[in-house]
């Protein structure tokens, strides 16, 4: 796992209070990890803070899984 | 009951009549209180009167950058704001047909936009901590309307709608959002009324007297307390029976 993926995973675990082994690339925040709509907003804000990137609302709407978040951040930082 | 020991509160407009009483009362219940106002000398005077557990935060709420900075500074200096009391408000009265854009904008900016911006700064940390009390001081006229105050009434009604929406969004995070709606309270703001206006008002108040800042502050303390944990999105009217809504 890349450094970005590790950091994303840590944020998700801390924020949602889920087991580490559930936070896999394909895990959906809402369907698999029990997030509600506020959680997803908070996660996006946490990603923005951690990685110093801006995630506009329309981009945020397309970030549904752990892998989506990692991909977006990798692209934003490239 | 109503013990606020260790809770950190920020009160805007803490040098006005009602705000000062709110700050005093929260402090008396044990809270650490951040006093916001525009006049530094008045803030310092109130702070030195209260003694320990007080910090002052001068800021001009018509300046959007200062509002944001106020939120950041209060969050940092108080070590997390648990209780936010949006009390600051201004009036620029005038009959509607002659109301200027400037008078409309000034009132909406301070009474509503600043509330939005300051609350936005402080809500996220409250959500993260899974605890918060947001208390917005609106007014009876935000519900009933009042001739000569279209701008003020719009801002105060706006506050109620704002509070209800926010209350629904963040209820699961244990952050409550409520309003306190004073009627006519002895303060600098009602001091501006002339005798004829005051006479008219008394006729409409079953208790035949104006309220005091302390009577408003009591409602704020209740909403700020742990005892009010299941109360959100509500407006408590403190008006001597003037409007029963």
CATH number assigned to the domain comprising residue B166:
3.40.50.720
Is any Cβ of chain A less than 8 angstroms from the Cβ of B124?
A: yes
Residue B154 host element (H or E):
helix B150-170
What does the pLDDT read at residue A77? 85
CA angle B238, B19, B68 (to 5 degrees): 120
Whether residue B245 is contained in a domain is answered as no
Determine the Cα–Cα distance for residues B202 and B196; give it in Å rounded to an integer.
10
In which residue are the tokens 């911006």 written? B117
Is any Cβ of chain A less than 8 angstroms from the Cβ of B128?
A: yes
Q: Hey, are the CB atoms on B124 and A45 less than 8 Å from each other?
A: yes
ipTM tops the 0.90 cut? no
CATH number assigned to the domain comprising residue A58:
1.10.1200.10
| Structural domain count, chain A | 1
Determine the Cα–Cα distance for residues B58 and B43; give it in Å rounded to an integer.
8
Whether residue B3 is contained in a domain is answered as no
**Residue B242 and residue B205 in contact, taking contact as beta carbons nearer than 8 Å:** yes
Does the pTM surpass 0.95? The reply is no
Q: Hey, are the CB atoms on B170 and A38 less than 8 Å from each other?
A: yes
**Residue B205 and residue B115 in contact, taking contact as beta carbons nearer than 8 Å:** no
Whether residue B32 is contained in a domain is answered as yes
The token pair at A24 is 């896999």
User: Helix, strand or coil for residue B210?
Assistant: coil
Is any Cβ of chain A less than 8 angstroms from the Cβ of B172?
A: yes
Residue B33 host element (H or E):
strand B32-37
Residue B175 host element (H or E):
strand B175-182
- Residue among B131, B152, B222, B230 flagged as catalytic: B152
How many Cα atoms occupy the beta-carbon half-sphere of A27 within 13 Å?
Answer: 21
Say which DSSP state B96 is in.
G
Of B49-53, B166-170, B185-189, the one with minimum mean pLDDT is: B185-189
Q: Hey, are the CB atoms on B127 and A42 less than 8 Å from each other?
A: yes
Is any Cβ of chain B less than 8 angstroms from the Cβ of A42?
A: yes
Q: Hey, are the CB atoms on A42 and B172 less than 8 Å from each other?
A: no
What does the pLDDT read at residue A1? 58
* Enclosing domain of residue A47: 1-77
Question: From residue B36, how far is each of A48, B19, B102, B113, B179 by CA, in Å?
Answer: 30, 9, 24, 16, 19
Is any Cβ of chain A less than 8 angstroms from the Cβ of B129?
A: no
**Residue ranges at the known binding site of B for NADP(+):** 38, 87, 152-156, 185
Determine the Cα–Cα distance for residues A16 and A34; give it in Å rounded to an integer.
8
* Enclosing domain of residue B220: 8-237
Distance in Å, alpha carbon of B120 to nearest chain A alpha carbon: 13
Q: Which residues of A are catalytic?
A: 36
Q: Hey, are the CB atoms on B124 and A38 less than 8 Å from each other?
A: no
B58-116: pLDDT as tens digits: 999 999 999 999 999 999 999 999 999 999 999 999 999 999 999 999 999 999 999 99
Q: Is the pLDDT assigned to residue A55 strictly greater than 80?
A: yes
**Dmax over Cα atoms in chain B, in whole Å?**
51
Say which DSSP state A54 is in.
-
Q: Where are the beta strands (DSSP E) in B124-172?
A: 132-137
Whether residue B100 is contained in a domain is answered as yes
């Amino acid at each position: 796992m890349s450094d970005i993926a590790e950091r994303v995973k840590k944020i998700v675990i801390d924020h949602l209070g889920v087991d580490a082994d559930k936070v896999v690339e394909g895990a959906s925040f809402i369907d698999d990890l029990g997030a509600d709509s506020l959680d997803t907003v908070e996660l996006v804000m946490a990603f923005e803070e951690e990685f110093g990137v801006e995630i506009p609302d329309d981009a945020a709407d397309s970030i549904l899984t752990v892998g989506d978040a990692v991909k977006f951040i990798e692209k934003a930082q490239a | 009951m109503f013990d606020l020991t260790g809770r950190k509160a920020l009160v805007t407009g803490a040098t006005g009549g009602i705000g000062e009483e709110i700050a005093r009362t929260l402090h008396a219940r044990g809270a650490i209180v951040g006093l916001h106002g525009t006049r530094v000398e008045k803030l310092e005077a109130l702070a030195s009167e209260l003694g320990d557990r007080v910090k002052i935060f001068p800021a001009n709420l018509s300046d959007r950058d200062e509002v944001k900075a106020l939120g950041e500074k209060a969050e940092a200096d108080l070590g997390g704001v648990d209780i936010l009391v949006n009390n600051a408000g201004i009036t620029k009265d005038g009959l509607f047909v002659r109301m200027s854009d400037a008078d409309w904008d000034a009132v909406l900016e301070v009474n509503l936009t600043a509330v939005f911006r300051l609350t936005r700064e402080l809500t996220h940390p409250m959500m993260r901590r899974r605890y918060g009390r947001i208390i917005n001081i609106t007014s009876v006229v935000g519900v009933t309307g009042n001739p000569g105050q279209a701008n003020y009434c719009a801002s105060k009604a706006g506050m109620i709608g704002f509070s209800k929406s926010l209350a629904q969004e963040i209820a699961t995070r244990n952050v409550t959002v409520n309003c306190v709606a004073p009627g006519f309270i002895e303060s600098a703001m009602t001091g501006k009324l002339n005798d004829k206006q005051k006479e008219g008002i008394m006729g409409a108040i079953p208790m035949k007297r104006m309220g005091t800042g302390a009577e408003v502050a009591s409602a704020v303390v209740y909403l700020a307390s742990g005892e009010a944990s299941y109360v959100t999105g509500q407006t408590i009217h403190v008006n001597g029976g003037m409007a029963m809504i």
